[in-house]
Each structure stands twice: as C-alpha cells, then as structure tokens.
Structure 1
Amino acid sequence: MKKILDKLISTNNLTKDELVYVLDNLNDEWRKYIFKHSKEAKERHYGKSVYMRGLIEISNYCKQNCNYCGIRHGNKNVDRYRLNPDTILQCTDLGYKLGYRTFVLQGGEDNYYTDELLVDLIKNIKDKHPDSAITLSLGERSYESYKKLYEAGADRYLLRHETATREIYDSLHPGMSYDNRRQCLNQLKEIGYQTGAGFMVGLPNQDNAALADDLLFLKELKPHMIGIGPFIPHPETPIGECKGGTVEDTMVMLSLTRLLLPDVLLPSTTALGTLDPKGREKALSVGANVVMPNLSPVSVREKYELYKDKICTGDEAAHCRKCIEGRINSVGYVVDMGRGDHVSMQ
C-alpha cells in the first residue's frame, strides 16, 4: 500500500487498478497517511487560505426528474419559488457589503431564466461590483447559451458530472444523456469558464471501481473546481429509502482528489455539515479549501431542499458568514474573502 500511495503523492497519478486497490484496502493508518499528504498538497498551493463564496439559490423549479433530488420535477410537495432579478441583485448587494467577492447563482433547470434575463442580470451585477466573480450553476444549457453568459461576464460554471459510470448515470437521470453531460463540461472549458465538476459518494450500485472511474474522469477533464459530497436520500424521491453516503468515505474521496489534482479548488460542502456537526471542518482538514455560506433570502432557504434536513436554513447571511468563519479558524485556517480564483488564474 505504501508504495502505491507514495507513487500517488509523488506523481499525482494512479491507474484504475491501483485506485481500486487503495479503496479496497484502506484502514485507519492509511487514511491518516493520505489525509496528512492531501492537507500538505492543499497548503503548498493555497497556504492556509479558505475561500468564501456567497451562495444564492435562485430557483427550486426544475424541468429534470433526477431520482435523488428533492426538487425534482416529479415531487409535487415542493413549495416552489424563483427569485426575480431585483431580488437576486439585492442579495449580491448585501453579500458585497459583507465582504463577498464571488457570488454563486445556483438553481434547478428553470426555463424562466432565459439567456436574455441572465445576460442582463450578469451585466448588472458586474456593473455594480466589477471586482467580483460570478459563478453559475444552472444545469445543462446549449453551447450558444453558455457562450452568451460567458461573454456577458460570468466567470465560472459548476456542473457536477454526478457519476462517471454510464449505467449508474442512466439509472438516476431519466430522460437525460450521459454523453450530453460530458459534452457540456467540455464546452464550458472550451469557452473559457473556470469549470467545476463533481460527484456524490455512496450512490446506489456505486462500488470502488465506479469511484475510481470518477477520479480518473476528473484527472482527464482537469476542472478548476470539484464538488464532492455524500449522497443523502430525500424521502420524496424514488431512491429515498436507499442507504446514504458517509462523511468518512467522502473525506477519502476529497483526499484522493486533492492528491490527483493538487491545485484544484475543493469545496467543503453543506451536505457534510448536515451529516456531521464537524463535517465541514473535517473536509477542510483533509484538503478542502472553499466554503459557500448562503446569501439567499431566509424566506426561501428551507424550500431549496435537494436532500433532507439541509443545515443553515434559518441564519441571517451575516450570522452565517461569522458562524462559518469561526469554524474555519477552529481548524487552523484563515478566511480569504477575495475572488478566490484557481491558482492558474491568479
């Protein structure tokens, strides 16, 4: 095991067989070994900085019907909402006053947000706050749409690949295309976005070979940001009774991702904090270096429920920032409120 892990640490590369061997044979000793080295890899590229992004969940309408997602089109018990451009601008204005210089506009695939509306919104945010970065996470759109939004001023786009295993992808995404998902990610990179991908840990039928494929796909894609979180079942979905992922397994995947792609931006997700009160701190301690406090209006936060019991729904934005800042400091890191670009873009 040590020989394989040392190869990973020194070359940032392993074969699929080697990755599967590592995942099959991890014990507490080897987990501590990779956690130590992934933390060191993060600090070599980003020091003690943890970047704060202001998250604005703009809509819980979604035309897709993903079998794991609480806001799927088929869930008729969702209290639907969407934020209009004026409300979104108010959120970015508040965030700017609180010190945020990156805003993440995230939502379901909602046809209300046309290219025209989003182009105007992006331009307005950039006109008011030209030193800020705008990240979009609005699902699959056309190449032309992605290009218009980029030319309007959007800097980054997050689109998790969800799983690199075709059979698992197809089982979870009725009416969607595995190949189109990959094509969207390649188009985003081609256009010039700082691009984010990512996957869930603990999905039904996901074995260590599938997890190795996720890591190898990311190594090939070389995204700027990778979102990895545990699968948390939502009771009003087709797989709501399935077993979920764990914080421990997610930490392993974060750590291996950091060692394969040492300069990547790696969020400590809300889902980890939902499963474990110290989940986000644990992720920061093994290589994560981004957190995304919620700037959405308090009145809608409980409605954006991708999974059950999502945390931080009742805090005001300012309190949410201070709360997470304290968590970051508690594990020896410092908050960086700048744009927090990928190291290759700085």
Structure 2
Amino acid sequence: MCYAIPGNVKNITGNLITVDYFGEERKARNDFYDLQVGDYVYAQGGFVVEKIDEKLAEEILETWKELFFELKKTDVRLSKLYNDKPDLDKDFLKVIDKATYGKLISRKEALRLLLCEDPDEIDLLHKSANFIRQKFLDNACCVHGIIEFSNTCVCKCTYCGINSENSTLKRYSLDTGEILEVVADAVKRFGFKGLVLQSGEDTSYSSDKILKLIKDIRRNFPVFIFLSLGEREDRFYREAFDAGAKAALFRFETSDSTLYSQLHPHSSLKERTRYLKLFKDIGYIIASGSLIGLPGQKAESVIDDFMFAKELGCDMYSFGPFIPHPDTPLSDYNTPDTEYILKALSVLRLIDPYGKILVTTALESINPQARRQALMSGANSIMLNLTPKDYVGFYDIYPNRATVDVSVEKQIADALQLLKSIGRAPTDLGI
C-alpha cells in the first residue's frame, strides 16, 4: 500500500496546484515537475513529490476508491461527539463548546482543560479533540518513515542519551551509500512517500556532503524529505530547501528560557527560536515541540509550550514525554504518566484544530496502547523506524524505545491494521 493517494490536477496557478481526490480538493506546491491540468501526482506535506502515469494512477485509485469511503464512514462514526454527563462543570463545557466551533481558546482556558481530573471531563476532552480533528482535518493520517543515520552528537543536552558526554554509548554513522540503500528500500519496496533524515549534531557530515545526499535522493526517488539535523549554517538550510528537502523537524524542547539553558548548556532558546523563524522564512514545513514532564515543569509551562509552538507557525507538532536515560544527569527523575500526556495532546488539538499532531515514539515507549489512544484523542500522524537493525538500538536517546526490535514489515502491518480499525487513511492529502 502506498502512503499517498494519487490526485488529479484540476488547476495550476504558478507553482501552486489544486489536486482532486475523489471529489475533495487540496492545494500543493510544485517545485519539481512540468505539469498540466489532468495530470496525476502524489503530494506530501503540501508539496508535489511525484508525477504519475495516468493509467497507473487510475488503477491505484480504483483499488483505493471503496476503501477510501469505507474508512471515512468508520472515522465519522468513531468521532461523533456526545455528552451523556449533563452535570459536568459549566465552565469546562463552555471551553469545549468554544473549541468545537473552531474558536480560539485562551491560555487560561487551555490550562483548565489540562488540569482536569474528573474522569468524565477527561473522557469528554478526548472525544472533543477527536471530533475537532475529524471536523477540520478529516481522516488522513501521515505515515512517515525515519532513518536515524548517526548517533554522534556534539551537544550536551542533559536529558539525551546520545549527548556528547555519554562515554558508554557505541557511536555509529552510516555512510551516504548506506543511507541511499535504506531510502531505496523504503520508497521502492515499502511505498513510503515521506522520510525523515535524522542524526545527532554530527560535524563529521559536512553540509556539502548532506546537500549532495539530498540531491541524490531527489534525483533517484520521488519522496518528501524531512531534515532533523540540528543547528547548522543558515546557508546550508537555504541550499537544502532548493536541493529538495522541504520540511524540518526541529524541537525547542521547552519555551522556558531559564530551563532551556539548564538543559542545553551549549545553546540558547533565543538561538533555537531563530532557526525556527529562519525555516519559516525559507518555506519549510515545520515540525516542532517540546518534552512534557521535565523535572520541575508545571502545567502552565506545558500550555506555554503549546502556545509558543502555535505562534511560531508550526505545521506539525511533536510533543512527547520526558523519559530519563540512566547515563544522563536527569537519570533519577520520573517519566510522566500516559494519561497526562494524552490529556496534553487533546488540549493541543483544541488549541490548534488544523495542525498535524505526531504520536511520538517516546509516547509509544511508555505505553504500547498509547498510539491508538493518542490517535483517538486528536493526533493524526505517526512515524515508523527504518533505521537498519544493526544500528537502531544505538540511537539510544532514551531507554527501551518502542519498535527497536520490530521489523519494518511488522511495523507497517501493525500501523495499517490500527489505522483501518479506526477509519484513518494512511496518507497525507495536503492542505
């Protein structure tokens, strides 16, 4: 199964096209192909990633058509919103009603939701987040693959297991040939249309070397490229965008500048924010977020992080739990409970009805059921780990990561089975 549906080009205005999917229209930017009205394309993240032969597209659409509408019906059924608890707090209900109509909720209102402890309120919060997700974004669920090609890092992040001061970790760096082999497998064998290239801040990879890698990928494989490489020269990110990388996964981890400095002695929140603004100016799709449950973090700080990410104009959110690593200075602290993270993700959906919300691997790592629970609580994006099995265990940013011992084939089968059961289409239709 492809992790995108072919769409028919209905209109072209400069490099912006309108694409039709079974009567639904979406916009996408075309930077790579000579297109005409009537052509068929694959799009990811609001960008055209491949022009596809008409006959092949029609064959694929024929196999998709019945399933496409079947999934929609399931999603609509499971996302219906009702409240059979009329005695719930009126102020709580006012915030819920406000959000379901797409109106902005305030920081104070968001905090009220995050702090709720009544099981009936929590249940309605999750149902409302799922309703809002379906209302504004339909049943599309992004399925991206991630390739962790190096665990070498010059940073000293106090929560991260691959930080430069962890002398117990076996380091690795895939060469570009090995990375291209993984990409080829992901695209040609498994049908991925979106891939994340992730590493520690590894200075052994020159910017020119990575630029060549991006160009080689785009030349040989029709795929949407996310970069998750940390802080590099501004020039690199401008040239990487032109070379074919169109998205950046770049978390700020906390919007509290004092806490940020304590966690990142090598950097500053001001510099981190500068990069996110640079990415926005260049034109990248931006995925960002923070850690939830950091030592000393209050609920107010979590809401501040959400508001901060939205103000930055993030297109996708990556908020996951803090998980202490035994070989870091924060090893003695506790992981937040799953329910708190799920509540937070639901509140985030009410804050931003339109953003994509990723179910992080960290959340899946603290609870095997969390992926489904998160998707039913407002989330609509997942990532599958494509890192070669000989190396994946060494990308040890936190212990006991989910799917480290699971084959790509099994990850895909499990993901597709889950998405089908809740009515989600494993595709990104664009904007």
Give the structure 1 partner of residue 208 of structure 2.
116
Pairwise CA distance, 1:232? 0.8
Aligned length in residues: 339
- Structure 1: how far apart are the matches of 2:280 and 2:103? 22
- Structure 2: how far apart are the matches of 1:13 and 1:219? 12
What is the TM-score of this pair, normalised by structure 1?
Answer: 0.94
- Structure 1: how far apart are the matches of 2:390 and 2:295? 33
Pairwise CA distance, 1:4? 2.5
Bigger helix fraction: 1
Pairwise CA distance, 1:11? 4.3
| Aligned residue type for 1:128 | N
Deviates more, 1:201-210 or 1:257-266: 257-266
The structure-2 alpha-carbon separation of the partners of 1:44 and 1:15, relative to structure 1 and needing over 3 Å to count, comes to closer
Contact 1:50–1:291 under 8 Å retained in 2? yes
Contact 2:114–2:344 under 8 Å retained in 1? no
CA deviation string 1:224-273 (max 9, x = no partner): 11101111111110001101122211111211111222121111111121
Give the structure 1 partner of residue 156 of structure 2.
65
For structure 1, the residue ranges without an aligned partner over 5 or more in a row are none
- Structure 1: how far apart are the matches of 2:375 and 2:352? 16
Deviates more, 1:161-170 or 1:18-27: 18-27
Deviates more, 1:317-326 or 1:169-178: 317-326
Deviates more, 1:201-210 or 1:33-42: 33-42
For structure 2, the residue ranges without an aligned partner over 5 or more in a row are 1-91
- Structure 2: how far apart are the matches of 1:156 and 1:304? 22
Contact 1:12–1:262 under 8 Å retained in 2? no
Give the structure 2 partner of residue 49 of structure 1.
140
Give the structure 2 partner of residue 105 of structure 1.
197
Pairwise CA distance, 1:121? 0.5
Give the structure 2 partner of residue 252 of structure 1.
343
Give the structure 1 partner of residue 170 of structure 2.
79
- Structure 1: how far apart are the matches of 2:202 and 2:181? 20
Give the structure 1 partner of residue 131 of structure 2.
40
| Aligned residue type for 1:101 | K
CA deviation string 1:11-35 (max 9, x = no partner): 4422222322332334222222221
Q: Is structure 2 residue 425 aligned with structure 1 residue 334?
A: yes
The structure-2 alpha-carbon separation of the partners of 1:24 and 1:304, relative to structure 1 and needing over 3 Å to count, comes to same
Contact 1:55–1:296 under 8 Å retained in 2? yes
Contact 1:234–1:308 under 8 Å retained in 2? yes
- Structure 2: how far apart are the matches of 1:200 and 1:246? 13
Bigger strand fraction: 2
- Structure 1: how far apart are the matches of 2:356 and 2:381? 7
Q: Is structure 2 residue 397 aligned with structure 1 residue 306?
A: yes
Pairwise CA distance, 1:215? 1.6
Counterparts of 1:174-253 in structure 2 under 5 Å?
174-253=265-344
The structure-2 alpha-carbon separation of the partners of 1:45 and 1:91, relative to structure 1 and needing over 3 Å to count, comes to farther
What is the TM-score of this pair, normalised by structure 2?
Answer: 0.76
Q: Is structure 2 residue 411 aligned with structure 1 residue 320?
A: yes
Contact 1:141–1:184 under 8 Å retained in 2? no
Contact 1:12–1:261 under 8 Å retained in 2? no
Q: Percent identity?
A: 32
Say which SS state the counterpart of residue 210 (structure 1) adopts: helix
Give the structure 2 partner of residue 163 of structure 1.
254
- Structure 1: how far apart are the matches of 2:106 and 2:353? 17
Pairwise CA distance, 1:324? 2.2
Give the structure 2 partner of residue 91 of structure 1.
182
CA deviation string 1:70-99 (max 9, x = no partner): 101000011100111111110110001211
| Aligned residue type for 1:21 | R
CA deviation string 1:133-168 (max 9, x = no partner): 000111122321211111111010010111111122
Deviates more, 1:321-330 or 1:82-91: 321-330
Contact 1:50–1:289 under 8 Å retained in 2? yes
CA deviation string 1:162-190 (max 9, x = no partner): 11111221121112111001111011011
Deviates more, 1:28-37 or 1:297-306: 28-37
Contact 1:55–1:294 under 8 Å retained in 2? yes
Structure having greater relative contact order (Cα 8 Å, sep ≥ 6)? 1
- Structure 1: how far apart are the matches of 2:100 and 2:181? 45
- Structure 1: how far apart are the matches of 2:295 and 2:165? 20
Give the structure 2 partner of residue 142 of structure 1.
233
| Aligned residue type for 2:212 | D
Give the structure 1 partner of residue 369 of structure 2.
278
Contact 2:416–2:426 under 8 Å retained in 1? yes
Contact 1:105–1:135 under 8 Å retained in 2? yes
